[in-house]
Structure 1
Amino acid sequence: MAAQDPDLPQPPAEAKASPGVAARTLVRRALKASLATLDAGTGHPYASLVTIATDVDGTPLFLISTLALHTKNIANDDRISLLFDGTDGRGDPLAGGRVTLIGRAAKSRRPTAPE
């Protein structure tokens, strides 16, 4: 086994983690994501930027306005995808970490969730 040179740049901790752990870490650290919905009028894909957080179990959370087009799209068809970019604007965005989650949007049932 070769010793690592401490003077050379080391890969981030996520690079050493399993793909599942690295993906969960990226999602947990994200402050924003691209939200893709299906346009209620045309059925075409519609992407927008949302600020994001995660619940204690890792479920993505985002607060959206009833005035926003993506909210109207979700009311019509709750299928969405979220794209998380882990590069934070550094380096080549296609060489950095990214995760896409696909699922259905649902209003939180937690009593602390805003109405």
Structure 2
Amino acid sequence: MEKFMYLFRGQDDRMSTQTQAQTDEHMQKWGAWMGDLAARGKFVAGEPLHKEGMQVNGSGKTVTDGPFVEAKEVVGGYLIVNAKDIHEAVEISKGCPIFEHNGKVEVRQIQKMEL
């Protein structure tokens, strides 16, 4: 099995227009999806991200405040999953509740490193 990272991207204001009941229902779908991944041995790790952050750039190590996005799209979280190949990882990602909000999932294979 290989490891893959999902980077979840969506609109920063996606939850602000929902009622609390709608938000709770959506979060329950996330919990069910991630619980299913764990039960199948696919879930490795994952967390939502705060929208604020900082970035260190270039040889001068210039620090800027974030978020760092174009067109109001933010990285809202990540997940690491086990899959046999990128095709399986992509198929697994299609069950993600983020698509209900027109979100995106970037699927990237994690490169093994020898330390």
Q: TM-score, normalised by structure 1?
A: 0.33
Higher strand share: 2
Larger RCO: 1 or 2 (CA < 8 Å, sep 6+)? 2
Higher helix share: 2
Q: Between Structure 1 and Structure 2, whose CA radius of gyration is higher?
A: 1
